[in-house]
Amino acid sequence: MWWNRVISQIRKWLTTSPPTILTMAAGSPESTATESKPVAGISESLLRAAMGKAAPRAPQEAIAGLLALPPDNPALASPARAAALIGQAAHESSRFTRVEEGLYYSAQRLTQVFPRRFATLAKAEPFARNPQALANNVYGGRLGNDKLDDGWMYRGRGYLQLTGRENYRILGLLLGLDLEDQPDLATDPKIAWLIASKFLATRTKGGKTALEWADEGNVEMVTRIVNGGTHGLDERIWLTALAGSALV
């Protein structure tokens, strides 16, 4: 079952790198775990409890936005899916305290966050504490960003940090929202949850959507879909487990 798989990932993690999460409550792509049986939505009280476990200081608007999702939303179809949604969103948004990508870095920090792009302090200096220039440098010319200021215009927003003109366009079409022309809509808590849940329901890797990987408790594959790699995997596993502990 999905929960056993998440627990096994935590045990493996704990034996190699102890948790560094400041606030804590008391896989492999080839997984063959069976799919969890969906339930008719998750109750509001359980969703509140899951948010409280994963992000005890989450703003009330973030909680209200989650509760505003329709009960038939696929991301709320099972505890496994709801735990993945909350866990991934909690990581990407710094426990729901950030709905816009933080790009205000010192030169030293830039060499650590973007080592391939800024191999030396000299290369990083022009972009230090200059979010707009940094966004255009990092995101310009990719992710559908084809105009001069697109990197900045389509920087990360929302609880999954939606990034790039193409992603804003696609998610906007799926949700019936003009995110491409009005990207700041993604910072609205209710819309941020709609984006996050739709992203997990529609983006695929290895022939399965993120929610289908969540059914198997495979946090690594969900992370690869959300992040493109495994950045922050340890914390994502932990946060998914914290949310899930309130749902089982």
Domain CATH code at residue 227: 1.10.530
**Which structural domain, as residue segments, surrounds residue 75?**
2-19+34-98+187-245
- pLDDT score, position 30: 35
Task: Considering only residues 52 and 19, tell me which one the structure prediction assigns the higher pLDDT.
Answer: 52
- pLDDT score, position 3: 62
- pLDDT score, position 248: 85
Whether 71 and 145 map to the same domain: the answer is no
pLDDT > 70? residue 122: yes
What is the average per-residue pLDDT within 16-43? Answer: 40
Burial class (CB in 10 A: 0-12, 13-18, 19+), 119: exposed
- Of 81, 94, 95, 135, the residue nearest 113 (C-alpha): 135
Whether 224 and 141 map to the same domain: the answer is no
Whether 93 and 47 map to the same domain: the answer is yes
Residue 8 lies in a domain: yes
Question: C-alpha angle 204/205/209, rounded to 5°?
Answer: 35
pLDDT > 70? residue 28: no
pLDDT > 60? residue 26: no
- pLDDT score, position 17: 43
What pTM, to 2 d.p., does this model score? 0.84
Helix (H, G, I), strand (E, B) or coil at 114: coil
- pLDDT score, position 5: 67
Phi, psi (rounded to 5 degrees) for 87: -65, -45
Q: How many domains does the chain have?
A: 2
Residue 170 lies in a domain: no
Residue 162 lies in a domain: no
Whether 43 and 9 map to the same domain: the answer is yes
What is the average per-residue pLDDT within 224-230? Answer: 96
